[in-house]
Amino acid sequence: MVGLSIANNVSDLILGDVREHLPLDRIPLSGDVLGLGTTTSIDNGELSFLQSAEGDTKIWKCQAHDGSVRELRHGDGSGHFPYVCFTADATAFRRPFDLQRLDPSCCSLQGLISEAISISRCEGELEEASIYGIRLMSFWQELVITIASKLCMGQQRRNSQIASSKSGDATASRSLYELLQHYRLAASDPCQQDDPIQFLGNSLQWDCCGFFDMEPTSGRVTVPEPGAHLHLHGCSTDLRFGGHLHHEHSSSRLNSLGRLVIYPIQQINYLASDLSIEKLTYCGQTVDFTVTNRGTLDVSDVGVAVVVNDRFGDHRYLRLPWLAAGEQESFSLDWPLLKGQHRVEVIADPEGDVLEDPKLLGNNRMSLLVNISSS
């Protein structure tokens, strides 16, 4: 059984949750590893997981400013991803599909893949799964690609959970593609002065990897909209360009498929952060405590509030620029207290910027009763 690990998800990305990151060295690239993702907000771009001639997997970063690609390597400065999903080596779960069995009149890429999955399942050649990994070679008459150039997608955050917006409930989902950088691949430059889509070139053969989600509204690996089953990233085979294949764009016209491989994914593992306050003590007019990341994602720009006697107007606020998964940082804060009983409380991420399972939020804070016998 091949599993899929998801660090955040597409829904989180749309809402602007970019304080959690998965480092490149946590992704196994030995063998046939399927995946896609987005790089850091400092250096925006899409991630394409492509097989190499040697049989392993390489991650190519698609540059937002010009659509070019480069291979990611450890230590090159682009090794932390706020959204990424990936499998282990899926070689044993490859299910190549005979393209001759597809309806030649269908010109929709999503429609063709949906048909291939349906045929394979009906014939008993493909196991039922909630998500299918996809590898394909595609040839295009014209193709529009998008590349993340504004990672926060309008920074909708989670306002919609507590308030309505005059811009409408669909603003966040619309902004995912409307606010990204668009590029056009075609046999020749259409030379339309009013064309908002920049022409890149005539690289029309694309090596792609992605996922077909049978439950797209979940927002796990696709935009959380009905019917948006397919999410593909890829590179042109000449390795000039890469990005998210905007196959549903009105200008994208598929010519043919050269190869299609389907992978049943029956296990999903969600990666997340888990901040914890530990070892809270008060001794010698000093508040001592430790902040630990017990989760599976690194976190950045995390706030920590120290409050005495619920007087939030007099609280102290610390900020951690980075806390990797499994690591901790200890603090000592001078805070002389007057005679009497006091309640000292330390809260990690008091503003709720970091995504955590509600069941794990209990350890984000710790309190301590302190009795001072003399001033």
CATH of the domain at 83: 3.30.1330.80
Q: Give the pLDDT of residue 107.
A: 85
Q: What is the CA radius of gyration of the chain?
A: 24
Say how far residue 246 (Cα) sits from the centre of its chain. Answer: 17
How many Cβ atoms sit within 10 Å of the Cβ of residue 84?
24
Q: Give the pLDDT of residue 167.
A: 42
Which one of 240, 270, 300 terminates a domain?
Answer: 270
**Same structural domain, 56 and 165:** yes
**Residue 164 and residue 52: Cα distance in Å, rounded?**
47
**How, if at all, do strands 83-87 and 3-7 pair?**
antiparallel
How many Cβ atoms sit within 10 Å of the Cβ of residue 268?
16
What contacts 161, CB < 8 A, 6 or more positions away? none
What CATH number is attached to the domain comprising 302? 2.60.40.10
Q: Give the pLDDT of residue 179.
A: 61
Backbone angles phi, psi at 184, to 5 degrees: -115, 130
**Same structural domain, 141 and 162:** yes
Residues of 46-80 as b/e, b for ≥16 C-beta within 10 angstroms? bbbbbbeeeeebbbbbbbbeebbbeebeeeeebbb
**Model-wide pTM > 0.85:** yes
Sequential DSSP letters for 340-364: EEEEEEEEESTT--S---GGGGGGG
What tokens were used for 328?
Answer: 């901790």
Q: Give the pLDDT of residue 44.
A: 77
Note down pLDDT in tens along the chain; length 375 residues.
Answer: 789 999 988 877 777 657 888 999 899 999 999 999 988 766 778 999 999 988 899 999 999 889 999 999 877 666 788 889 999 999 999 999 999 999 988 889 999 999 999 999 999 999 999 999 999 999 999 999 999 765 544 444 444 444 444 444 444 444 455 667 899 999 998 888 778 899 999 999 999 999 999 999 998 999 888 999 999 999 999 999 999 999 999 999 999 999 999 999 999 999 989 999 999 999 989 999 999 999 999 999 999 999 999 998 889 999 999 999 999 999 999 999 999 999 999 999 998 888 888 888 999 999 999 999 875
Which one of 252, 270, 288 terminates a domain?
Answer: 270
**Same structural domain, 178 and 255:** yes
**Same structural domain, 74 and 175:** yes
Range of the structural domain that residue 83 is part of: 3-270
Q: Give the pLDDT of residue 42.
A: 67
**Same structural domain, 101 and 245:** yes
**Residue 51 and residue 6: Cα distance in Å, rounded?**
20
